[in-house]
Structure 1
Amino acid sequence: MRARQSTRGRLRAWWHRLPGSLHAWWHRLPGSLRARRHRVRANIGLAVQSALAAAISWLIAHDLLGHPEPVFAPIAAVGTLAGSIGQRLRNTVELVVGVALGVAVADGVVVGIGAGWWQLGLVTLLAIVASIFLGGGPALVTQAASAAVLIATLSPPETAGIYTARFWEALIGGLVSLAVIIAVPVRPLTLVRRAVDPILDVLAASYSDAGAALADADRDRANAALERLRGAENEIATMREALQAGLESARLAPVHWRKRGMLRRYVNASEFLMRSVRNGRVLARRCVTALDAGEPVPVCLPAALGTLAGAVARLRDELMSRTDEPRARDRLLEAAAQVGEAYAAGVGFSGHVIIAQVRAAAVDLLQATGVGPEDANVLVRAAVARRAPEQPPD
């Protein structure tokens, strides 16, 4: 009887928790879909390049070289483009060497001892061991093993001799992929902006919501800011990929060489944006805790978060601009001064953590604008000290 009542109690508790869980899932869903849409937009150029390279490499191998089934040419083209973005020159070399190695091993084994299940295992083992012995990376090991498996299963040689056509197909695919990158490059700045802007939007909206939550004692809004920052990992992964692809395009395509300076601004800022997202999660969590505990919230503390949100929005504009107007820096230092005032007014434990996170965000975002680390720390400490008789701990 007690067990039945215990079960009913657990079911009742689960039922009461369900609406909140559904509510949280429903609010996370748009962010997830938005992140996926941004990811698709950031990689649509890669998809177009891969399609062109596969089609052109097959056409060259089939019509110009006369290969009846040029499988390796489009595979090599797509493998080069879809591999580690930013390392396609290395990928091309490893891919061609890997295919040549796999073909040589497979042909040698199958011609010598025939084809079968245990020969397939032997071919795979030898191809991987040989590629590792040569010091190849993941691309070389994968291509060597894949080529060996394909030769040993789908098209084992009927006569002695290595199928050199496979090597030439791989070489064609790799070279065509590089030619496509140069002839049909992605627009690096557009690609990078589309990937970086969502992170800046998340930061600005989260700081703004956290500040409004403290001002209105709205725990749900503070928790929403926390959930938004927790869901930013997809945007961070997309940003990393976009930065690598953008830099590669700017290096290989002469038409984009003049854009390398602006791309470096985004690259330099990216690390500090990632730090700000991580620190922002701590800040938002402490806003929730401060509201739960009923800690004192001076008016200047939510105001500082609002100022910080405005600084992030300004930073977004400055990264896109060719000028160096330091308006974002002025707002970051104003946010630091406001948390100094909040410290002087008196806060609880979580309030102290929020102040420390605002200071950390100001230091990181100042560095994103191009200020050096030592100068950023000095500027933030000076801004805090202007309104706090006693310097709060870092």
Structure 2
Amino acid sequence: MIRVTAALSRARAGLMLALQAGLAAGLAWFVAHDLFGRPMPFFAPIAAVIALGSSVGQRLRRTTELVIGVAAGIGLGDGIILLIGAGPVQIGVIVLLAVLLATAAGGGAALIVQSASSAVLVATLTSTTGQPWTRFLDAIVGGGIALVVMTVLLPLNPLTVVRRAADPALRAFTGGLHDAARGLADADAGEVRAAVERLRAAEGTFAAFSAAIDAARENVAFAPARWRARGALAQYVDGAAQLTYALRNVRVLLRRAETALNDREPIPGVLPVSVRHLGDAVELLRQEWDRGVEPLAARERALRAVAESGRAYREGVGYSGGVVVAQTRTAVADLLRATGVEYAEATRRVRQAIGWTARPHKARRRSGRPGSMPS
């Protein structure tokens, strides 16, 4: 039953792509066959499906590269076959030239692969009969139709794309912080180290999140049907970079926490509580972004995390423990900025939560305690 449910969920996730591919293939054949009079324009729907299927979650530039790669490979294959015929040597020459051409044009891996594979397809599956360059024109038609379908006629919902990318990134961030909080509470340096590794691995999901943000920006910009999503998308767009900064600061925080445990420094009970609150704040942010509401609960929990960490000074910390407190302040400031709080206001709230509002800056600088610098 679980497998069936998972399969249905994957099918729902791929439904829009299937609709795009079906519409693009049908339109490409119609335009090439019925409007341009091509008797068998099978490269038109092929180019349309390749462009759509290879560009899920990618930016418009990559999709355009794929279209150009398919068309260039087909055109080059047609030209070589017309001049020197078909055969194993000709296939080798076609692939060589297709790769060199794509590389010289500055294309990425997608353009190079599609250009070469399309040239091979022409050289092995088609004959030399027919007018030259007709298959090249079919590919241009198919690729153009794919771009129109994905940006105008049936664009993906940018919010859905971004939420699917953000969800695993934020869940991994939350899980790593909660694991580290347990390790700190149990004085288990190995568990804290494992949490650091989990967050290091999460950088891949954050990279996918950033790529989805870029794709969503272009989707909204070029797809009039999705313009209404601009407001709801702004939370993700504005907060993604700050979340990446927070992730990096948290990794520094946890490495110092591991050092503190290995050095047998005193670990006040408020430090694991602070780290747990920080993980709760990331989870609340995920939930509030998903509902499209202002992340008030995430801000409140993040400030509670920094307030708890500030109590560690009064209970006594060593050098590494002081760095943990300082990095908590920095990570919370990043998290507040991810929720839409401006830099100066985020810094003010962090200082207020830690109880520094009435202390002069010079006194803080002369205190000499690790982590006593402003957030």
- Give the TM-score band, short-chain normalised: 0.7 to 0.9
CA contact (8 A) 1:53 1:177 kept: no
What do residues 56-79 of structure 1 show as CA deviations (whole Å, max 9, x unaligned)? 257537864564461452234322
2:42 to 49, 55, 70: 70
Pick from 283, 289, 292: which aligns with 2:253?
283
| 2:280 alignment partner AA | G
Report the CA distance between 1:220 and its aligned residue. 5.7
- For 1:147, the aligned partner's letter is S
Q: Any conservation in 2 of the 1:337–1:386 contact (CA below 8 Å)?
A: no
The correspondence for 1:369, drawn from 294, 318, 339, is 339
Give the match for residue 31 of structure 1: none
Task: Report what 2:240 is aligned to.
Answer: 270
Deviation of 1:175 (Å):
0.9
Indicate yes or no: 2:193 matched with 1:217: no
- Contact kept, 8 Å, 1:298 with 1:342, in 2: the verdict is yes
CA deviation string 1:286-343 (max 9, x = no partner): 4344334332112322232233233223323443455546443343333223323213
Contact 2:74 2:139 (8 Å CA) reproduced: no
2:298 and 2:227 map into 1 onto residues whose CA distance is 28
Q: Is the 8 A contact 1:367 1:373 kept in 2?
A: yes
1:191, 1:93 → 2: CA distance? 19
Report the counterpart of residue 356 of structure 1 in structure 2.
Answer: 326
Please tell me whether the aligned partners of residues 249 and 256 of structure 1 are also in contact (alpha carbons under 8 angstroms): yes
Kindly provide the amino acid, as one letter, of the partner of residue 354 in structure 2. Answer: V
Segment of structure 1 superposing worse, 383-392 or 222-231: 383-392
User: Quick one: which of 181, 188, 199 aligns to 2:169?
Assistant: 199
Give the match for residue 94 of structure 2. 123
How far apart are the structure 1 equivalents of 2:84 and 2:18?
43
CA distance in 1, matches of 2:336, 2:86: 64
Percent identical residues: 37
Structure-1 separation of matches of 2:286 and 2:356: 27
Shift of 1:180: 4.9
Q: Distance in 1 between matches of 2:213 and 2:229?
A: 13
Counterpart of 1:78 in structure 2: which amino acid? I
Aligned partner of 1:296 in structure 2 is: 266
Distance 1:91 1:345, change over 3 A: closer
Partners of 1:200 and 1:137 lie apart in 2 by 29
Distance 1:244 1:130, change over 3 A: same
Contact 1:279 1:360 (8 Å CA) reproduced: yes
Which one-letter code corresponds to 1:70 in the other structure? F
Matching of residue 226 in structure 1 with residue 205 in structure 2? no
Flag structure 1 segments of 5+ consecutive residues without an equivalent: 1-35
Counterparts of 1:133 and 1:220, CA distance in 2: 49
- Distance in 2 between residues matched to 1:340 and 1:78, nearest whole Å: 55
Distance 1:313 1:142, change over 3 A: closer
Q: Is the 1:207–1:308 contact (alpha carbons within 8 Å) kept by the matching residues of 2?
A: yes
* 8 A Cα contact 2:41 2:138, kept in partner: no
Matches within 5 A, 1:308-327: 308-324=278-294, 326-327=296-297
Distance in 1 (alpha carbons) for counterparts of 2:172 and 2:304? 21
State whether residues 20 and 154 of structure 2, in contact with CA within 8 Å, keep that contact through their aligned partners in structure 1: no
* Mapped contact 2:333–2:350 kept (Cα < 8 A): yes
For residue 109 of structure 1, what is the aligned residue in structure 2? 80
Aligned-residue CA RMSD in angstroms?
Answer: 3.8
Distance 2:178 2:93 in 1: 61
* Cα distance in 1, alignment partners of residues 192 and 79 from structure 2: 65
Separation in 2, partners of 1:151, 1:204:
50
Tell me if the contact between 1:53 and 1:74 (Cα under 8 Å) persists in the aligned partners: no
What residue is the counterpart of 1:82 in the other structure? 54
Partners of 1:50 and 1:177 within 8 A in 2: no
State the SS of the aligned residue for 1:186.
coil
- Normalization by structure 1: what TM-score? 0.74
1:129-168 maps to which residues of 2 (within 5 A)? Answer: 129-131=100-102, 139-158=110-129, 161-168=131-138
Give the direction of change, closer, same or farther, for the CA distance of 1:317–1:152 in structure 2 (3 Å limit): closer
Cα distance in structure 2, aligned partners of 1:43 and 1:340:
44
Paired residue total: 357
Q: Partner of 2:356: helix, strand, or coil?
A: helix
2:276 aligned with 1:306, yes or no? yes
